[in-house]
Amino acid sequence: MSSMEAHSSIDDANIGMKSFEFVFMFNKSTGSPKVFYLMVDPIGKCRLFPKTNTVLFPKLKNLVNFRAVVLDDCLYIIGGKDWETGEHIDKTWRYDPANSRWSQRASLINARCRHTATVLNGCIYITGGEVIGGRVTESCECYDPVKDKWTEILDLPRPRADHAACANGLNLYASGGISNLKHQCSNVFWTYDPITNEWTEPLPGVILPHEREKHNMISVGKRVVVIGGRGFDQETFSEKDEGAVCSYNTHTKGNARKDGIWDIFHPNVFNPRGNAGVVLLGRNLYLIGGKSYQKDCDVRMVECYNTKRRKIRESFQLPDSFSYVNVDCVVLKVPITNTDINFDDILLYDKYIMW
């Protein structure tokens, strides 16, 4: 595609949708209101432009270990802890990119941080986390945006923090994490049915192939992909950066010992890291930011996993001037009329077209 054709295609797309997708990277460790973001290729929509932009979201000042999630094209910031006072936060903030406005929504029933936030069936589900007193909790809540109301749902089978969760089909899945602040990571794997309000193992005896915490789960078709995090080395009895990728087949209905339930034959990531962000763009899964605990450093290399070809490559490097040790990543569609966001990357499309 020529540069002129690319610009023409972008113009045509802009006329139709008048909005573009961005991946926002929320640093959950510094309490800074500065948020980094990358533009999604407006034509293919399956890759990122390797240029980092920044925006200030004042509601994030002094807020750490919160969760960011997108529902109905709006951004939600949920819970967290005050960087200065250590107070656990119960607030829910919503940012509407259509008018660049923040609004406070109903507060959580239980203030918490280090929890999960997942969109399922038009609602937001919160699981576990750390609550007042530094205790790890098993409590869960569900947010209805129409009623602007949080409702308690059945607790997790056991307390969990630094775990992962994602939605697939009609169910919610949760895995790994720790049960108290001194406990090593675990291999639990649970599913939640919102109709019956029950947490169970997907099949009797199903657990993660590797213990993990600070990892990611993301839905790819009929599979739940588990990537990144901190694991546990059974030979040295010490924690390690987990590089293995695995996936669970949510359509499996047989015995837990059958082949095909867990697929452990994915390639390993090149740069193992915990507390990273992950997004799915088309068939490409991007692993962004995080920290190597064994090397004690930020991981600035963005990796791209083509889930169809099953190939992982190092995509591009994030700038050295920022910290990415603990990030949440979301994909948000932003109207071109939004004055908070920089759309200049559209004009640089020809720079990235061969990238």
Give the pLDDT confidence of 288-320 residue by residue, as tens digits.
999 999 999 999 999 999 999 999 999 999 999
CA atoms within 13 A on the CB side of 292: 13
Give the pLDDT confidence of 62-118 residue by residue, as tens digits.
999 999 999 999 999 999 999 999 999 999 999 999 999 999 999 999 999 999 999
| Tokens encoding 195 | 């109709």
The model carries a pTM of 0.93
**SS3 of 274, please?**
strand
| Tokens encoding 80 | 């967290």
Annotation: CATH topology of 3-352? Neuraminidase (2.120.10)
Look up tokens 């945006």; give the residue: 145
Residues 186 and 176 sit within 8 Å (Cβ to Cβ): yes
Give the rounded distance of the alpha carbon of 114 from its chain centre: 12
Give the pLDDT confidence of 211-254 residue by residue, as tens digits.
999 999 999 999 999 999 999 887 777 789 999 999 999 988 66
Residues 226 and 247 sit within 8 Å (Cβ to Cβ): yes
What residue type is 326 in one-letter code?
A: N
214 — alpha (psi -120 to 50), left (phi > 0) or beta?
Answer: left
